[in-house]
């Protein structure tokens, strides 16, 4: 566990690059129909998760919604296991049983990957409850989108966390849209952070495109939580460059708006800061980027050649003690024509 | 053995498991200071303190989810629903999060959680408060569901549920909390396995398959039938899922006639599944079609007379038995 200040910023920049290149490659593989189901990309939001992870220890708990590839990568899940999960392979971080929206990695304290909007926020409060129950000094980071804050689960969870004074940072990744619904059209507040005030939880707005600001804010709050457990709320102002999911052309927003945010790109920004301070040359940056691309390409190769989960393990992951119903049918190979009737990615909604 | 109430039996089970394992805690509405809406947790706050006996606000979705999260990192929560009718507000946590986590994580996160509380119609509580939820939950892969009818089964099954590494629902019989029965003394460990039915009364002419609140009804009816020279065997399922096929089939092989009396609704009810399994596996043993007695397929009326008409009762059960016996 490295103390926060010493986490190398160049290393964090290279993590941001890895996330971006991973997502670009995932997009390409999705279009090539190597990846099924829904797939939500994180491109544009990289500073939020890298900044937050840079501010915590390896044994702190992390949990998020379905836009989760970056959170697993940032926690240390191998790009191979992440890509293999997208491919539905046995070597995936959830053995191919979770998919894009359900990345889990117990070893790296990544508690998912949850696809019912806001349903994981009570779980996060449970993780924080366990920390306090055991008298540990860990912290839970709970990420969610702006769309989650109008769900009952969100409100119940915030109230419980405040009531029991649990060690948790609620991190709202406000990318201005929940699918096609802008925050103005969903939320009866001037700013999201005001939700926290209703539960007497301290809250702040953070520039989510600025790695350093995210890291420093999270570090400050985590520090205070470790001294005396309490919940906190951070509204990260950020932006997703791509559509909500692979099938979304994002016609509900203007090109100009997207361009405005692209100019404020989190990777470009940290790169410029480091370059200005003489900590990074152009050659070094190019090398980092090249390495990220190579890592991701290798992950695709790994995923491609990995085996499918064996059919005879179908019933192995339903009950922890292997309990099964006596009447269970024997798993059979699905009919071949299934592939032909599979919907094309463009018709695949949420 | 000594005689205690169903409520006391549950209370003992909770106390023993809290005592045994520091990872066990009890959470729910009014479980601590109020001593339990139905007094099942009576005295536990005084004995185990507020760290482990935890009152919540009225937030079923929130605290059920809190339990699932705590279970992900190895605690063993017992989540009390004031009644299972209110668990519907937490349906997402019970159905989506608790049982799916183990699969979705490729086996990394099992959820050792117990959801418990009263279930099934009570007296004149109207449609919102009278749900028998066993068939909803039993249809979800990854959940285990039991519905004890006696103090002994209540204690033994609840203790087993707390020790199980999966999400288990203990559906307590709201109307039976004050009923009494013989239970092993407290110094004797009582664990009743999930997935084991019990023949509560032996008989030779007809098998009456029942669980929870329909068990006392079936036993009473068996007495009446005896006077008419019909010998009924009473099979108490105890666990809805996993289902004990063997005990059911053994009984049917002996009597060749079956009535299922259940406390849920007829459409896709527990009895439908039991019925399917019997005909599929031992069709040749049957001498008559199986008949199910359940609630009527209507939301529960408040009016007492109408409520009685909706519920399974002795008259309906006796009529069903006679129908299968004289078929
Ligand atoms: C309970 C529920 N309702 C609806 C959906 C469909 N859905 C998936 S993502 C989404 C938008 C959520 O947006 P937000 O929380 O802002 O996260 P972002 O996509 O911006 O990361 C919706 C409506 C869902 N998954 N769960």
Per-residue model confidence (pLDDT) at position A225: 98
How many Å apart are CA B78 and CA B97, to the nearest integer?
A: 16
The angle subtended at Cα B316 by Cα B313 and Cα B322, nearest 5°, is 135
Closest Cα of chain B to A112: distance in Å?
A: 8
Higher per-residue confidence, A27 vs A343 = A27
Per-residue model confidence (pLDDT) at position A321: 87
How many Å apart are CA B131 and CA B263, to the nearest integer?
A: 9
Contacts of A195 (CB under 8 A, 6+ apart): A149, A154, A158, A189, A203, A233
How many Å apart are CA B254 and CA B189, to the nearest integer?
A: 33
* Backbone φ and ψ of A298, nearest 5°: -65, -35
- The protein residue with its alpha carbon nearest to ligand 1, atom 6, reads A350
Please, what is the end-to-end C-alpha distance for chain A in angstroms? 38
| pLDDT single digits (tens) B72-125 | 999 999 999 999 999 999 999 999 999 999 999 999 999 999 999 999 999 999
Indicate whether A123 belongs to any domain: yes
Contacts of B54 (CB under 8 A, 6+ apart): B25, B26, B27, B28, B31, B32
Indicate whether A297 belongs to any domain: yes
The answer to whether B2-183 and B198-324 have equal CATH topology is: yes
Supply the ipTM of this predicted assembly: 0.93
Nearest CA in chain A to B276: A327
Per-residue model confidence (pLDDT) at position A322: 82
Domains of chain B, by residue range, sit at: 2-183, 198-324
Pick from B40, B63, B164, B48: which is nearest to B113 by CA? B164
**Domain B2-183, CATH among 1.10.260.40, 2.40.160.20, 3.30.70.980, 3.40.50.970:** 3.40.50.970
Chain A residue numbers with beta carbons less than 8 Å from the beta carbon of B104 are 94, 97-98, 102, 104, 112-113
Per-residue model confidence (pLDDT) at position B316: 98
Ligand 1 centroid distance, CA of A189 (Å): 19
Indicate whether A26 belongs to any domain: yes
Please state, rounded to an integer, the average pLDDT across all residues of chain B.
97
Which pLDDT band, with edges at 50, 70 and 90, does A345 fall under?
very low
Report the b/e string of B258-289 with b at 16+ CB within 10 A: bbbbbbbbeeebbbbbbbebbeeebeebbeee
Can you list the positions of beta strands (E) in A202-278?
A: 203-207, 231-237
Contacts of A26 (CB under 8 A, 6+ apart): A35, A39, A41, A69, A83, A86, A100
- For residue B199, pLDDT over 80 is answered with yes
Of A61, A92, A123, the CB nearest to B65: A123
Choose, out of B69, B71, B240, B272, the residue to mutate when testing the contact with A (most A CBs < 10 Å). B69
Which pLDDT band, with edges at 50, 70 and 90, does B212 fall under?
very high
**Residue A117 Cβ contacting ligand 1 at under 6 Å:** yes
The mean pLDDT value for B189-207 works out to 98
- The protein residue with its alpha carbon nearest to ligand 1, atom 7, reads A350
HSE (side-chain half, CA atoms, 13 Å) at B13: 30
B109 touches chain A (CB under 8 A): yes
* Backbone φ and ψ of A209, nearest 5°: -95, 0
Per-residue model confidence (pLDDT) at position A7: 73
Here the CATH number for the domain that contains residue A100 is 3.40.50.970
The mean pLDDT value for A281-288 works out to 98
How many Å apart are CA A56 and CA A215, to the nearest integer?
A: 9
Indicate whether A326 belongs to any domain: no
How many Å apart are CA B213 and CA B6, to the nearest integer?
A: 12
| pLDDT single digits (tens) A83-111 | 999 999 999 999 999 999 999 999 999 99
- For residue A348, pLDDT over 60 is answered with no
Per-residue model confidence (pLDDT) at position A350: 60
- For residue B296, pLDDT over 80 is answered with yes
Can you list the positions of beta strands (E) in B18-108?
A: 24-28, 53-55, 76-80
Of B64, B109, B141, the CB nearest to A318: B141
Q: How far is CA A56 from CA A15, A50, A72, in A?
A: 15, 10, 14
| Secondary structure element (H or E) that encloses residue B259, with its range | strand B258-261
Is there a catalytic annotation at residue B60?
A: yes
What's the CATH fold of domain B198-324? Rossmann fold (3.40.50)
Indicate whether A329 belongs to any domain: no
CA dihedral A295, A263, A64, B57 (to 10 degrees): 170
- For residue A149, pLDDT over 70 is answered with yes
Per-residue model confidence (pLDDT) at position A238: 98
The angle subtended at Cα A214 by Cα A210 and Cα A217, nearest 5°, is 140
The mean pLDDT value for A71-79 works out to 98
Which residue is catalytic, options B12, B16, B17, B60? B60
Rg of the Cα atoms in chain A? 20
How many Å apart are CA A122 and CA A49, to the nearest integer?
A: 20
Nearest CA in chain B to A155: B62
Indicate whether A312 belongs to any domain: no
In testing the pocket of ligand 1, which one of A38, A117, A250 has its CB within 8 Å of the most ligand atoms? A117
A321 touches chain B (CB under 8 A): yes
**Residue A147 Cβ contacting ligand 1 at under 6 Å:** yes
Q: Which range, of A2-6, A104-108, A123-127, A192-196, averages the lowest pLDDT?
A: A2-6
Ligand 1 centroid distance, CA of A146 (Å): 9
**Residue A67 Cβ contacting ligand 1 at under 6 Å:** yes
Per-residue model confidence (pLDDT) at position A51: 98
Domains contained in chain A, number: 1
- For residue A33, pLDDT over 70 is answered with yes
The mean pLDDT value for A34-60 works out to 97
Residues 169-188 of A with CB under 8 A from B: none
Of B56, B68, B277, the CB nearest to A123: B68
Which pLDDT band, with edges at 50, 70 and 90, does A143 fall under?
very high
Contacts of B259 (CB under 8 A, 6+ apart): B206, B207, B208, B209, B290, B291, B292, B293, B317, B320, B321, B324
Q: How far is CA B10 from CA A187, A206, B41, B118, in A?
A: 45, 50, 8, 11
Please state, rounded to an integer, the average pLDDT across all residues of chain A.
93
Domain with A165, as residue range(s), is 4-306
Please report, rounded to a whole number, the percentage of residues in chain A having pLDDT higher than 90: 89
Is there a catalytic annotation at residue B129?
A: yes
Q: Identify whether B66 is preceded by a cis peptide bond (ω within 30 of 0).
A: no
Residues 43-62 of B with CB under 8 A from A: 51, 56-57, 59, 61-62
Indicate whether A315 belongs to any domain: no
Contact A116 B92 (CB under 8 A): yes
Contacts of A256 (CB under 8 A, 6+ apart): none
Chain B residue numbers with beta carbons less than 8 Å from the beta carbon of A122 are 61-66, 68-69, 93
Per-residue model confidence (pLDDT) at position A178: 96
Choose, out of B21, B58, B62, the residue to mutate when testing the contact with A (most A CBs < 10 Å). B62
- For residue A52, pLDDT over 50 is answered with yes
The pTM of the full predicted model, rounded to 2 decimals, is 0.94
Choose, out of B61, B143, B197, B272, the residue to mutate when testing the contact with A (most A CBs < 10 Å). B61
- DSSP class of residue A342 equals S
- For residue A6, pLDDT over 90 is answered with no
Which pLDDT band, with edges at 50, 70 and 90, does A339 fall under?
very low
Indicate whether A332 belongs to any domain: no
Which pLDDT band, with edges at 50, 70 and 90, does A349 fall under?
low
How many Å apart are CA B87 and CA B64, to the nearest integer?
A: 9
Distance of CA B256 to the CA centre of its chain: 26
CA dihedral B158, B162, B165, B171 (to 10 degrees): 40
B29 neighbors B82 (Cβ within 8 angstroms):
yes
A322 touches chain B (CB under 8 A): no
Distance of CA B89 to the CA centre of its chain: 19
């Amino acid at each position: 566990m490295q103390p926060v200040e010493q986490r190398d910023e160049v290393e964090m920049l290279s993590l941001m690059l890895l996330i971006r290149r991973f997502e670009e490659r995932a997009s390409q593989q999705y279009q090539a129909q190597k990846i099924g189901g829904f797939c939500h990309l994180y491109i544009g939001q990289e500073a939020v998760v890298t900044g937050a992870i840079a501010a915590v220890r390896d044994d702190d708990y992390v949990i998020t919604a379905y836009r989760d590839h970056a959170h697993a990568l940032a926690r240390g899940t191998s790009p191979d296991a992440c890509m293999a999960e997208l491919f539905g392979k046995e070597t995936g971080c959830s053995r191919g049983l979770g998919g894009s929206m359900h990345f889990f990695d117990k070893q790296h304290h990544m508690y998912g990957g949850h696809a019912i909007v806001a349903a994981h926020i009570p779980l996060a409060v449970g993780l924080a409850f366990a920390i306090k129950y055991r008298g540990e000094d860990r912290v839970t980071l709970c990420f969610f989108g702006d769309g989650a804050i109008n769900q009952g689960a969100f409100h119940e969870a915030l109230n419980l966390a405040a009531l029991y004074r649990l060690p948790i940072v609620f991190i709202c990744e406000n990318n201005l849209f929940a699918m096609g619904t802008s925050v103005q059209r969903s939320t009866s507040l001037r700013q999201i952070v005001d939700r926290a005030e209703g539960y007497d939880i301290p809250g702040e707005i953070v520039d989510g495109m600025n790695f350093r600001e995210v890291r420093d804010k999270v570090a400050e709050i985590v520090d205070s939580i470790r001294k005396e457990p309490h919940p906190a709320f951070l509204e990260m102002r950020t932006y997703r460059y791509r559509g909500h999911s692979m099938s979304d052309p994002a016609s509900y927003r203007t090109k100009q708006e997207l361009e405005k945010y692209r100019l404020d790109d989190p990777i470009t920004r940290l790169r410029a800061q480091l370059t200005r301070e003489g900590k990074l040359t152009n050659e070094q940056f190019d090398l980092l980027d090249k390495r990220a691309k190579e890592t991701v390409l290798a992950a695709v190769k790994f995923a491609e050649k990995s085996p499918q989960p064996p059919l005879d393990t179908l019933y192995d992951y339903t009950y922890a003690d292997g309990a099964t119903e006596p009447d269970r049918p024997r798993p059979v190979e699905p009919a071949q024509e299934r592939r032909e009737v599979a919907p094309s990615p463009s018709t695949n909604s949420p | 053995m000594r005689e205690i109430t169903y409520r006391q039996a549950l209370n003992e089970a909770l106390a023993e498991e809290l005592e045994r394992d520091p990872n066990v805690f009890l959470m729910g509405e009014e479980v601590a200071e109020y001593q339990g809406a139905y007094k099942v947790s009576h005295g536990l706050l005084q004995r185990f303190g507020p760290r482990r006996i935890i009152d919540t606000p009225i937030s079923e979705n929130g605290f059920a989810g809190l339990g699932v999260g705590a279970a992900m990192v190895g605690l063993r929560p017992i989540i009390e629903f004031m009644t299972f009718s209110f668990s519907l507000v937490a349906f997402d946590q019970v159905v989506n999060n608790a049982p799916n986590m183990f699969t979705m994580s490729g086996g990394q996160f099992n959820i050792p959680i117990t959801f418990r509380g009263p279930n099934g119609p009570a007296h004149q509580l109207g449609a919102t408060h009278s749900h028998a939820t066993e068939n909803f939950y039993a249809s979800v892969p990854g959940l285990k569901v039991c519905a004890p009818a006696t103090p002994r089964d209540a204690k033994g099954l609840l203790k087993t549920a707390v020790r199980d590494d999966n999400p288990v629902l203990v559906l307590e019989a709201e109307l039976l909390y004050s009923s009494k029965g013989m239970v092993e003394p407290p110094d004797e460990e009582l664990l009743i396995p999930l997935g084991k039915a019990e023949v509560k009364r032996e008989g030779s002419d007809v098998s009456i398959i029942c669980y929870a609140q329909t068990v006392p009804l079936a036993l009473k009816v068996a007495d009446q039938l005896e006077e008419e020279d019909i010998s009924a065997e009473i099979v108490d399922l105890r666990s809805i899922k996993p289902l004990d096929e063997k005990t059911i089939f053994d009984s049917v092989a002996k009597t060749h006639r079956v009535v299922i009396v259940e406390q849920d609704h007829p459409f896709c009810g527990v009895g439908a599944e039991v019925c399917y399994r019997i005909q599929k596996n031992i069709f040749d043993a049957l001498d008559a079609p199986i008949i199910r007695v359940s609630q009527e397929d209507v939301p529960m009326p408040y009016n007492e007379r109408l409520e009685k008409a909706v519920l399974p009762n002795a008259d309906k059960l006796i009529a069903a038995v006679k129908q299968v016996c004289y078929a």
